[in-house]
A and B are shown apart, each in its own frame.
Chain A
Amino acid sequence: MSTEAIAAEKPKRNYNALFGLTLLALLVLLWVILSVATPSFASTNNISNLLRQGSMIAILAVGQTFVIITGGIDLSVGAVVGFATVIAAMLINAGVPVILAILITLLVGVAIGLFHGFGIVKMGLPPFIITLATLTSLRGIGLLMTNGNSISINNDAFQLFSRSSFLGIPNLFWMVILVGIPAYVFLHHSRWGRYLFSVGSNAEASRLSGVNVQRTIYMAYTLSGLCAAFVGVLLASRIGIGNPTQAEGWELQAIASSVIGGTSLFGAVGSVHGPLLGAFILATINNGANLLNVNAFWQRIITGVLIIVIVYFDGLRRRGK
């Protein structure tokens, strides 16, 4: 958890750490219950699978959290993931070297984020609106580009990456660490991180204190776009298909993970470890429900209830303290 710096007063800091621990405990508890309830849960195969499932939402949730801390929202991330799979697939199939294809895809994510920043800062559009517009139009653009067809990626090495493991841990989960550590340092130990919080708390006060508010907002949405494009690359690698309609609803899962992880939709409250834990809690519930043969409709209901319960208790304790 953060150093003393950002995480509010001492009792609050302990509390923040405590909340993180509570989430971790919840996750472990779920795992223990599920291992007992179904023999297949604890199998290496299933755990790897679960980590893979959770990883992509986790990375999305980190980017989303940066945006939410500034008091905004990014509804486009699911669509950006789908769009990025198309870009990556087209480039790779056109013979562009994989590394270059990945870089270009990431740049597309950055460009989309910059566009959001532009809409908010220069055009004065609410974040909800501009990212909602991207959400629908990006899927449309992707469908135009593919004529509504899926593109199979014909590059085995690219696909092998997301299916392999390193030191027994799936590569996709390593990607979470690859994103998580710099994100943590950025949010809690750099001045840009401080500025995200201050802009989310009071943009006017930040501006008068010399914080470049516009640049901070550009930065938040760009990072979110970047994370989403990165997840698009991972998804393309995992499924081996470029299709703009993939990752439907992932933006909501990312927001849910972030909120379960203690991020306040009012801005100025959030961390990196919270959304990561939140994403894996959601993944565990889905995975466990599948194994237990719980009706998929119920899974959605359970997720909804869980969001309410966790955020309610979080709020209670924040106020109680």
Chain B
Amino acid sequence: MTSTAQELHPAPTLEPGRTILELKGLEKQYPGTHALKPVSLAFKSGEIHAIVGENGAGKSTLIKLLTGVMPRTSGDVIWEGKPAALATPHEAMALGINAVHQEVVLCRHLTVAANMFLGEEDSRFGILQQRAMVREAQKIIDDLGFDLPAHVVLGDLTIGQQQLIAAARATVRGTKFLIFDEPTAYLTRKEADQLFTLIRRLKGEGVTIIYISHRMEEVFELADRVSVLRDGTLVGTRNIAETNDAELVKMMINRSIEQVYHKEHFTPGATLLEARNLSGKGFENVSMTARAGEIVGLYGLIGAGRSEFVTTLYGRHRKSAGQILWEGKEVQINSEHDAIRLGMALAPESRRDQGLCLNLPVGLNLNLPIYKRISSNLLISSAQEKTEADRQIANLRIKTPTRNALASSLSGGNQQKIVIGKWLAHGARLFIFDEPTVGVDVGTKAEIYRLFGELLSKGAGIILISSYLPEVYELADTLHVFRRGKLVATHGFHTADHEEILTQALAEKQEKLGGQI
């Protein structure tokens, strides 16, 4: 295609304030789950409309219906006054409806440019104009203010950067209606700021935007109106100026939460793990300890080397220098197996690539680390297998029809709960949680934090990686800041403020620190 930067500026066809898209009794029934009970809602042209709700409330389902990814069970969609079938993604795109989905759905083996023009390639006489496309893509990316190369393979970028490319892709095709499904879950703060700038700019150009997020502060920062879904039902719609955090949470989960960041302080016990001048791929000369009864927080931008550091502790990668000590004795951890035997557990950051067997049942996923314990010699005790799985499902309120449902049929946040839940029954002594609450709703976050407290009280230690500062700030007894593979600062509980920690994480790059955290 020969898109130019002008196509970034689609002419608004309706004056702001008029209804551009209307849902009338839209409904979706999956086998075993009534994901969307008849929902009626109107979107105004040029508004930013936030949609919030618990995990499994039906947000992503609504988006899939609007973008033609899934067929609806019943109901009507009125687009610019005319009924629209929205049977295929192609039809939705032709109308000008685009989405940036919760999980990046692009081709990881193709280049950024190829992805941006996927399905609308520029070709002459059947020959792809590769160079022209790379140039064009680069222009669009630069124009959006993203600092990313167009010629690299998409899979080489971080998940956050891929998400930005997905957003850029959605803007180049004459979009009038753009949906973001939890776009900031994997973004660094800087990337999130870039995305917000892009969203505001699109709004200025008359594009209508749906914005789905579990982060209330983003909703209040961006949105004009907000709708709340609970169990597939629309609970209400509010103007952003006329509502507040507490009211939305109450609408979402039908009860109020006094305190999300449940924090108990314990006197730290014996040192479990110590890293001495540890180096490896992606990090250098890191020293730290983790003790029983404390949460060690690792904060930094995505790509700062925290995940590489903990996966090396866990035996997934080789260390290149330094020592690892377990309970004071130096140990060689050559595989995950060794780490688990010592008493470590790791809940990895990417649930799709590392965390879940998607096409297997929820129960199997939850029990995977503990099959050894629940089988005698050869045979698995199926009674124990059931109890263990059901216990975690109840514990974390995982929304699934049964433990035998496939993990792929769960909503994003509920999948994340499996990644956490599978370790809770394991009896490990040191838990490493890498971005544990990505995409998890407020109520469950509170629940997960409470379970952290429970693990600590039983004498376990926790290493918590998060790119979401409030989370580590409120929970970590010791907070280490990572920057470009180095541990650059260490703080106690609340001994530094957000500003200082952010500066340390960003350092010389001198990013603007305005806006929310």
* Residue positions of A touching B, CB distance < 8 A: 3-13, 185, 189-191, 194-195, 197-198, 201-202, 204-212, 268-269, 321
Residues of chain B within 8 A (CB-CB) of A207 are: 316, 336
Contacts of A204 in B (CB 8 A): 353-354
Measured CB to CB, the closest approach of chain B to A270, in angstroms, equals 12
Q: A10-B404, A11-B31 are in contact. List 20 more A-B contacts (CB 8 A).
A: A5-B363, A5-B382, A6-B364, A8-B361, A9-B409, A11-B32, A191-B371, A191-B372, A194-B367, A194-B371, A195-B371, A197-B357, A202-B354, A205-B368, A208-B336, A208-B348, A210-B336, A210-B340, A210-B369, A212-B337
Give the residues from 345 to 382 in chain B that come closer than 8 angstroms, CB to CB, to chain A.
346, 348, 353-361, 363-364, 367-369, 371-372, 375, 378-380, 382
Complex alpha-carbon distance, A26 and B480, angstroms: 64
Q: Which residues of B contact A189 (CB under 8 A)?
A: 379-380, 382
A194 touches B380 (CB 8 A): yes
Q: Are B379 and A185 touching (Cβ within 8 A)?
A: yes
Asked if A194 and B368 sit within 8 Å, CB to CB, the answer is: yes
In the complex, residue of chain A having the shortest beta-carbon distance to the beta carbon of B372: A191
The answer to whether B385 touches A5, judged by C-beta atoms less than 8 angstroms apart, is: yes
8 Å CB contacts to A: which residues of B1-39? 31-32
Provide the bound-state CA to CA distance between A202 and B351, in Å. 11
* B406 near A12: Cβ-Cβ < 8 Å: yes
Bound complex: CA A262 to CA B337 (Å): 33
Q: Is the CB of A205 within 8 A of B356?
A: yes
For B358, the chain A residues whose CB sits under 8 A away are 201-202
- Would you mind naming 17 contact pairs between A and B with Cβ atoms under 8 Å apart? A5-B382, A8-B404, A9-B404, A9-B405, A9-B406, A12-B406, A185-B378, A189-B380, A190-B375, A191-B380, A194-B380, A195-B371, A197-B357, A202-B356, A205-B356, A205-B368, A209-B422
Q: CA of A4 to CA of B386 in the docked complex: distance in angstroms?
A: 9
Tell me, rounded to whole Å, the shortest Cβ–Cβ distance linking A40 to chain B. Answer: 45
A189 to B, closest residue via Cβ: B379
List the A residue with the shortest CB-CB distance to B347.
A208
Cβ contact within 8 Å between A208 and B364: no
Decide yes or no: A208 and B380 within 8 Å by CB, A194-B364, A201-B357, A201-B359 being known contacts. no
Query: Which chain A positions have C-beta within 8 A of B332?
Result: none
With a cutoff of 8 Å between Cβ atoms, the chain A residues found around residue B282 in the complex are none
- Asked if B401 is an interface residue, CB under 8 A from chain A, the answer is yes
Task: Name the A residues within 8 Å of B360 (CB-CB).
Answer: 8, 197-198, 201, 268
Interface of B is mostly: mixed
Q: Do B380 and A190 have beta carbons less than 8 Å apart?
A: yes
Most chain A beta-carbon neighbours within 10 Å: one of B359, B385, B406, B422: B359
The 10 closest A-B pairs by CB, nearest first: A201-B357, A191-B371, A9-B404, A9-B405, A210-B340, A209-B368, A202-B357, A209-B369, A191-B375, A201-B360
Q: CA separation between A123 and B356, bound complex, in Å?
A: 26
Query: What is the chain B residue whose CB lies nearest that of A266?
Result: B359
Closest residue of B by beta carbon distance from A212: B337
A197, B364: Cα distance in complex, Å? 10
B495 at the interface (CB under 8 A from A): no
Contacts of B378 in A (CB 8 A): 185, 190
Task: Establish whether residues B402 and A5, one from each chain, have CB atoms under 8 Å apart when the complex forms.
Answer: no
**Contact pick for A269, options B32, B359, B402, CB 8 Å:** B359
Contact A205 B375 (CB under 8 A): no
User: Which residues of chain A have C-beta atoms less than 8 A from B361's C-beta?
Assistant: 6, 8-9
Scoring B residues 171 to 209 as 1 if CB is less than 8 Å from chain A, else 0, what string do you get?
Answer: 000000000000000000000000000000000000000
A194 to B356: give the CA distance in the assembly, Å.
14
CA distance A208 to B344 in the complex (A): 11
- Residues of chain A lying within 8 A (CB to CB) of residue B409: 9
Q: How far is the CB of B407 from chain A (nearest CB, A)?
A: 9
0 or 1 for each of B395-431: is its CB under 8 Å from A? (1 = yes): 0000001101110010000000000001000000000
Residues of B within 8 A of A269 (CB): 359
Contact partner of B368 (CB less than 8 A), chosen from A10, A11, A198, is A198
Q: Within 8 Å CB of A8, what residues of B?
A: 360-361, 404-406
B31 surroundings in chain A (CB, below 8 A): 11, 321
User: Which chain B residues in 289-321 approach chain A with CB under 8 Å?
Assistant: 314, 316
User: When A190-B375, A202-B358, A205-B356 are in contact, do A5 and B380 touch as well, CB less than 8 Å?
Assistant: yes
> What is the CB-to-nearest-CB distance from A252 to chain B, in angstroms, rounded to a whole number?
26
Residues from chain B with a CB closer than 8 A to the CB of A5 are: 363-364, 380, 382, 385
Are B354 and A205 in contact (CB-based, < 8 A)? yes
Q: How far is the CB of B71 from chain A (nearest CB, A)?
A: 12
Instruction: Looking at the assembled complex, report how far the CB atom of A223 sits from the nearest CB atom of chain B, in whole angstroms.
Output: 15
Residues of A within 8 A of B385 (CB): 5
Choose among A10, A191, A205 the residue with the greatest number of B CB atoms under 10 Å from its CB: A205
Interfacial chain B residues near A198, Cβ < 8 Å: 357, 360, 364, 368
Q: Which of B356, B357, B378, B380 has the most CB of A within 10 A?
A: B357
